[in-house]
Amino acid sequence: MSITTTTHASYATAADLLAVIQPSTGGRDILDPATGELVGRAPEHTAADLEAAVSAAREAQPGWSALGHEERSAYLNRAADAVEASAEALAELLSREQGKPLNGPNARFEVGACTAWLRATASFELEPEVLVDDGGRAELHYRPLGVVGAIGPWNWPMMIGVWQLAPALRMGNTVVMKPSSSTPLSVLALVHVLNAALPGRVLQAVSGDRTVGNLLVEHPGIAKIMFTGSTDAGKAIIRNSADTVKRLTMELGGNDAGIVLPDADPQTIAEDLFWGAFINTGQTCAALKRLYVHEDIYEDVVTALTETAKATPMGVGLDENNVLGPLQNKNQFDIVANLVQAAKDSGARIVLGGNPEQGQPGYFYPTTLVADIDNDNPLVAEEQFGPALPIVKYSSVDEAIEMANALNVGLGASVWSSDKDKAREVAARIQAGTVWINKHGAVDPRVPFGGAKQSGYGLEFGVEGLKHLGQPHVISY
């Protein structure tokens, strides 16, 4: 097979990117969730388009695999260069389509994370493991699986897309991506930019509705599905992939708990607590979504969080002053609004927010803090996925741990304390894939990440993440 690369190009504005990814006719209108204005038109790919993409990816895979780790890593670094060259245009398009502001831990941050993950994934070493060497010898190798189907979410569409495609490509697989129907333009633009640096046909994207996604999951030519999204959607993928016995990496719902120990300093931790909960306006799988605070410092933590929230501007993402944006879609807005209303009706104390403006454009829900709330209240027990944080008071650490572990999910969690030894003792008792101390949601490309319980299975990031994109292959002699 002959492998060639396309000519490198960079883009200055979102309009430049839209000009090359929009269909010449037809397509589906994508609206800005902050203003309701037209962002662009997304192609509606068909079953035939998906079939063509999978066939092309299968044809390209042997040649891509034959390049070896070193050359594939070089391609990933070139792809990172391409993203950097078009970073501002990608961030502008992301802000307009997803709603997140340019500044803060948002659109520019997300595009920067794409380059960081590409480079980090290219740097990992994956050598054969010697299992036995005592006269006989057994080695564990990891071989490419084939074609990986990557199904991404609408909250971090570019960054999570790279989390999926980078290790898959590095391991010698080819990739067919299916972006969320809410944010297809961002992913199509990212794939177009990446393909300026990658060999032809190793990375492709198909845009469409759930029907196209189901066909990808069921396709016998797809060896593995990587999915980030809700637990319910993940369960459907598990069922639909069963007949072809696909490998799966499922990063599903979280509803992460945070426990503030009585020795924590409210003023010291307030800003990190706030961003742990409200990064991307709360629309993050591993965001802090229920906060347990010891009764001795409860009111002090509530006050410190309120001061931080009041000082954090929300608005249209292209305004350089804003660092919080709208909810991405009407359905998510309604979920948050209904959960906060249920908390109000139950007698919980609305410390801040809870009163969205009527008749305004965009799906803006104000930063909301809810205190004096029961642990079984729906705002606590269900993943709200928005800018509303319930704060639950506890009396003993055992009680807090019991409440944190009570749900059937466990993506991430955090412990906040001035004593790291005490924090580690508590962290060891929490049922979650990752427990952070004095921070929350701080993912690192070098550190494996995955969920416990119904938050999914499989690992991403680091060398362990690479292994999950390979077929274990033992050679014994």
Which residue is catalytic, options 251, 295, 307, 402?
251
Q: pLDDT per residue over 77-90, tens digit each?
A: 999 999 999 999 99
Q: pLDDT per residue over 107-165, tens digit each?
A: 999 999 999 999 999 999 999 999 999 999 999 999 999 999 999 999 999 999 999 99
Percent of the chain with pLDDT over 90: 97
- Give the global pTM: 0.96
Instruction: Name which of 6-15, 138-147, 277-286, 437-446 the model is least confident about.
Output: 6-15
Q: How far apart are CA 190 and CA 159, in angstroms?
A: 10
Which residue is catalytic, options 285, 299, 307, 383?
285
Tokens at 205, concatenated = 């994207």
Residue 285, pLDDT > 70, answer yes
Q: Contact 204/56 with Cβ under 8 angstroms?
A: yes
Residue 248, pLDDT > 60, answer yes
pLDDT: which is higher, 8 or 96: 96
Q: How far apart are CA 269 and CA 291, in angstroms?
A: 13
Confidence tier at 8 by pLDDT (50, 70, 90): low
Q: How far apart are CA 392 and CA 371, in angstroms?
A: 7
Q: Which residues contact 380 (CB under 8 A, 6 or more apart)?
A: 290, 373, 374, 390, 392
Buried b (16+ CB within 10 A) or exposed e, 279-316: bbbbbbbbbbbbbbbbeebbebbbebbbbbbeebebbb
Q: pLDDT per residue over 40-66, tens digit each?
A: 999 999 999 999 999 999 999 999 999
- Reduce the DSSP state of residue 289 to 3 states and report it: strand
pLDDT at res. 323? 98
Q: pLDDT per residue over 180-239, tens digit each?
A: 999 999 999 999 999 999 999 999 999 999 999 999 999 999 999 999 999 999 999 999
Confidence tier at 413 by pLDDT (50, 70, 90): very high
pLDDT at res. 9? 79
Q: In the chain, what are the domains?
A: 14-252+455-476 (3.40.605.10), 256-444 (3.40.309.10)
Task: Give yes or no: 251 in active site.
Answer: yes
